[in-house]
Amino acid sequence: MGDLAPEELTATGEHPPRSSSMQFLLVLAALWVLFHLVAAGSGVTGSHVLRSVHLGGAIILTLCYKPLARSWRWIDALLILAVIVSTLYLVVRSDAILLSNWFTYLWPERILGAVLFVSLIEAVRRALGWGFVALITVFVGYAVLGSWIPGVFGHRGLSLDRLIFSFYLGSQGVTGMLIGISASIVALFLIFGEILNASGAGNTFINVALRIGGRLRGGAGMVAVIGSAAFALLVTIYSLRAMAGNYWEGKFYAYLTWALGGACIVGLAGNLLVLLVGWELVTLMLFLMINQGRDNAKSGAAKTYGILG
């Protein structure tokens, strides 16, 4: 098990990275973060390239942060190499992949999809443990063995070949909508939150909330609500840039952020007037979220706002 004592092992059985490895890991993580910031600034948040690099970088960082014992380190090297190759393939052939289907499915894509699936499962095991791997195994088994299941839960089943295609190249696969939300929205908010914490600005919201509501009746709840509202206000102001653009996803999430800001106003409302203002803001933003992209969305929202107001 290498030259580390058993008590130095992590909860999932891996050894923690050494100081030299940690320096390399920090550089790699910094490049990964920089890529997200550049992608967000250039307006390519919905691209297939961003999703692929986001996924591949996350897997590589996980494998590097929680490596196996020294005698098994070659497995880490093989997994990282497999992730790099499979991710580069997605990046280089991103335009062709968007137009691909089952009939254009190539044998190299089958192999790359399989090795990326194995690498992802291993990264999940190291990060979240065997329980989550067991959950994934159950759902994969249900997809493959559906024809053997009786009753209403049975189905004709998927072949492993079809499953790998859906996973690697399908629009609902590993680079689908969910990873797109993670790459374009969740990752940026996590980066922004860590910057706030590192600069001390995150504690400012808590300190201000303590000053305002710490001595009031129900102070703990007031501190939580005021601190959350302050951060929501900051995020709402930050979303103004997205609202000014023409990119529909940016507008959708901007409207969503404004709706959350209105919900915070409802939670903080001390009288019916403030409650009404917050509720009307939520209603207006929800209408724009549902109907955004249509020519009459804004006029319809104005009529709805007037009727409900």
For 56, list phi and psi in degrees, rounded to 5.
-60, -40
**pLDDT at site 221:** 62
**pLDDT at site 131:** 93
Radius of gyration of the chain (CA): 24
**pLDDT at site 54:** 94
pTM above 0.75, yes or no: no
Q: What is the mean pLDDT of each run of 10 residues along the chain (309 residues)?
A: 46 59 87 90 76 94 88 90 95 82 80 95 94 93 90 87 89 86 84 79 68 63 65 61 53 72 70 74 73 60 55
User: Taking each helix axis from N to C terminus, what angle separates 130-144 and 160-168, rounded to the nearest 10 degrees?
Assistant: 120
What whole-number distance in Å separates Cα of residue 4 and Cα of residue 278? 57
DSSP-derived secondary structure letter, 217: T
* Tokens standing for residue 249: 């996803």
What whole-number distance in Å separates Cα of residue 93 and Cα of residue 213? 55
Within its chain, how far is the Cα of 115 from the centroid?
Answer: 22
Q: Is 275 exposed, middle or buried (0-12, 13-18, 19+ CB in 10 A)?
A: middle
Instruction: Choose among 90, 174, 175, 96: nearest CA to 140.
Output: 174
Give the Cα-Cα-Cα angle 30, 250, 36 (nearest 5 degrees).
10
DSSP-derived secondary structure letter, 156: -
**pLDDT at site 294:** 60
**pLDDT at site 42:** 78
**pLDDT at site 7:** 43
**pLDDT at site 5:** 45
**pLDDT at site 118:** 96
What whole-number distance in Å separates Cα of residue 45 and Cα of residue 185? 8
In the numeric block, the tokens 């990964």 are attached to 32
